[in-house]
Chain A
């Protein structure tokens, strides 16, 4: 586990969308990695891939509304050494093309980076057709696949850079709305290494993606009540940093997980497997309870579906009261 507490601010002033972090990272890769190519299925603006397209038009491949073709093409492009980054919404990056990913990319061990925006409820008003909440589960089940869900703009930029330098298929999940930028540019980022953001011995909070900032807010609330939480950003869901989970759970004896994803198949399930096999620990999971989303603003939806700092606080207090 990396101690990242010195690399975050608890009073962020800036707010940015994680997809823009992806766009910025991709543009940087255009300069630093000549073999990086990008494919997009008619969502260049939404994925913030326009700067890369304009800077490197010969390395940008508009495939139209044809995601299956895009995924298999990306697999083919690796033959000869290219590093393809595919861009579309998370729903169309996973469920729509699962068989293409499974056969042509994961089983075939192809060096494709599947970059997925608009994941989860925070996609908002478009509603449940587009709000995929099962993608982490689908992708983590695939052998050879790395699954990363960064916490803010800066970390998404860092993750985009980092995945270009590992060999093999990656699923990079990010989102639509703006959220606080609380990571510093200089924060170390290592795939597969969880990051400790706050330290405490009373309860462990393990969060990923959008829910990491909520976890920090929850820990600050708990602190006001004299409860010290260990806050861990599990940006890499696979391979999972089991050592970090075990170390923290050993000290606190209580674990709350938080994710913008179905309860079945998400981060919570992965953490539970590690705990069950190593150090059985009382747990609570803040996640979507086996239902589809709906239209609404991101904030309204997260409130209605119980994905908030308050929910993390409540589950933590439940565990402490056991």
Chain B
């Protein structure tokens, strides 16, 4: 592998995100900025994959499913930076006749995407289905899924949680982006998640907590989850993050969940994010 996960890549991905949403005056920068380290860690250090020869079936590869599809900008940036598709396609994000749809989709054939997402709550179930197929095939590969903390309000998540524990699905590692924010306000105000870790424990999952902005901490969490294969217990990583991380005026508020910066705000944001690998 040519590059390893590093703050250098993370900084460039953050530049990509704010430039993508600015260019079309739409999209979801907040959650995207908050999950940069996880995506970079998974795609540059952890996952077994073949970026240049993408197949929908992904046999003998690790698979990633983004359940909270609205944070597509971070995924697109990382997929592209990792070599799944040409960097210049990031400029077509959310535009007509593009493979880089507002929410991840398969219809246009963008390499790296295996199922559409956007309507929340479905990704864990999809991941479990893929995990069952991997088990039937006897693979020692992994399934990764990512979810928003607000997404925990969807009932289907808990259907899937029950299934995974009951069926002892231990080839999946799921992450929750715990930024405490959702569109209408904080999760605490909108519909409190209360003790999320206790909920997952009660549903029969092994709960790991980590700092979602530390590549090392994420690495340790993933190592711990992987070491538990064979336990018959699925693992969930509660990843503490800051929505809008890296751009001071976007940090820690739901206000930047789904709006794009204007020209002035873009300049301000870019001044805080070093161009390390070259803008697209």
User: A103 near B117 (CB under 8 angstroms)?
Assistant: yes
Chain B residues with CB below 8 A from A79, complex form:
56-58, 63, 114-115, 129-130, 133
Q: Is the CB of A80 within 8 A of B134?
A: yes
Decide: A82 and B133 in contact? CB cutoff 8 A: yes
Q: B243 contacts the other chain (Cβ, under 8 Å)?
A: no
Select the stretch in B15-23, B77-85, B159-167 that faces chain A: B159-167
B106 within 8 A of A: yes
A237 to B129, CA, bound (A): 29
**A59-100 to B contact mask, C-beta < 8 Å, 1/0:** 101011010111111111111111010000000000000011
Q: Which residues of B contact A76 (CB under 8 A)?
A: 65, 115, 125-133
Measured between beta carbons, the chain B residues less than 8 angstroms from A108 are 105-107, 115-116
**Is the CB–CB distance between B57 and A81 below 8 Å?**
yes
Question: Taking CB as reference atom, which chain A residue is nearest B114?
Answer: A79
Asked whether A73 lies within 8 Å of B119 as measured between CB atoms, the reply is no
Give the size category of A's interface with B: 20 to 34
CB distance from B103 to the nearest CB of A (A): 9
Once the chains are docked, how many angstroms separate the CA of A263 from the CA of B56? 39
A109, B126: Cβ atoms under 8 Å? no
Give complex CA distance A76, B137 in Å.
14
Contact A73–B129 (Cβ < 8 Å): yes
A58 lies within 8 A of chain B by Cβ: yes
B163 to chain A: which residues have CB within 8 Å? 63-64, 66, 69, 73
Q: For residue A70, which residues in chain B have a CB less than 8 angstroms away from its CB?
A: 125
Are B107 and A107 closer than 8 Å at their CB atoms? yes
Interface size, chain B (Cβ < 8 Å): 38
B59 interface hit (Cβ, 8 Å): yes
Q: Which residues of B contact A64 (CB under 8 A)?
A: 159, 162-163, 166
- Are the C-beta atoms of B125 and A77 separated by less than 8 Å? no
B155 contacts partner chain A, Cβ-Cβ < 8 Å: yes
Write out the residue numbers on chain A whose beta carbons fall within 8 Å of the beta carbon of B122.
68, 72, 99-100, 103-104
Question: Scoring B residues 54 to 79 as 1 if CB is less than 8 Å from chain A, else 0, what string do you get?
Answer: 00111100010100000000000000
B129 touches A66 (CB 8 A): no
Closest A residue by C-beta to B166 = A64
Tell me if A110 counts as interface (CB < 8 A to partner B): yes
* B202 proximity list for chain A (CB < 8 A): none
**In contact, B159 and A75 (Cβ under 8 angstroms):** no
Q: Does B136 contact A (CB under 8 A)?
A: yes
Contact B136 A59 (CB under 8 A): yes
Residue of B nearest to A77 (CB): B129
Which chain A residue has the least Cβ–Cβ distance from B113? A108
- Contact residue among B116, B125, B129, B131 (Cβ-Cβ distance under 8 Å from A68): B125
Confirm or deny: B7 has a beta carbon within 8 angstroms of a beta carbon on chain A: no
> Quick check: B160 and A61 within 8 Å, CB to CB?
no
Which residues of chain B from 93 to 142 have a CB within 8 Å of any chain A CB?
105-107, 114-119, 121-123, 125-134, 136-137
Tell me, yes or no, whether B156 is within 8 Å of chain A by CB: yes
Taken together as a complex, chains A and B put the C-alpha atoms of A293 and B87 apart, in Å, by: 56
Which of B58, B106, B107, B129 interacts with A72 by CB under 8 Å? B129
CB distance from B127 to the nearest CB of A (A): 6
The contact of B159 among A59, A68, A81, A107, by CB within 8 Å, is A68
A80, B106: Cβ atoms closer than 8 Å: no
**Interface set, chain B 155-201, CB cutoff 8 A to A:** 155-156, 159-160, 162-163, 166-167
How far is the CB of A320 from the nearest CB of chain B, in Å?
Answer: 47
Closest Cβ of chain A to B55, distance in Å, is: 10
Most buried by A among B129, B160, B167: B129
Pick the residue among A37, A81, A104, A107 that contacts B126 (CB under 8 A).
A104
Given A80-B59, A108-B116, answer yes or no on A72-B125 (Cβ-Cβ < 8 Å): yes
Contact A99 B119 (CB under 8 A): yes
Contact A73 B125 (CB under 8 A): yes
Q: Which of A75, A81, A84, A99 contacts B115 (CB 8 A)?
A: A75
Complex Cα gap A80–B130 (Å): 7
Min CB gap A79→B, angstroms: 5
Given A63-B163, A99-B119, A73-B156 contact (CB < 8 Å): no
Please, which residue of chain B has its CB at the minimum distance from the CB of A41? B159
Contacts of B125 in A (CB 8 A): 68-73, 75-76, 100, 104
Q: Whole-angstrom distance between the alpha carbons of A108 and B110 in the complex?
A: 12
CB distance from B111 to the nearest CB of A (A): 14
The answer for the CA separation of A104 and B119 in the assembled complex, in Å, is 9
- 11 residue pairs A–B, Cβ–Cβ below 8 Å: A72-B123, A73-B160, A76-B127, A78-B133, A79-B56, A79-B63, A79-B115, A80-B133, A82-B136, A103-B116, A104-B116
Shortest beta-carbon contacts, A-B, top 7: A76-B129, A72-B125, A73-B129, A66-B159, A69-B159, A76-B126, A80-B133
Question: Residues on B close to A: CB < 8 A?
Answer: 56-59, 63, 65, 105-107, 114-119, 121-123, 125-134, 136-137, 155-156, 159-160, 162-163, 166-167
* Additional A-B contacts beyond A68-B122, A69-B159 (18; CB < 8 A): A63-B163, A64-B162, A66-B160, A66-B163, A73-B125, A73-B129, A76-B125, A76-B128, A76-B132, A79-B63, A80-B59, A80-B133, A82-B136, A100-B156, A103-B122, A104-B125, A107-B107, A108-B106
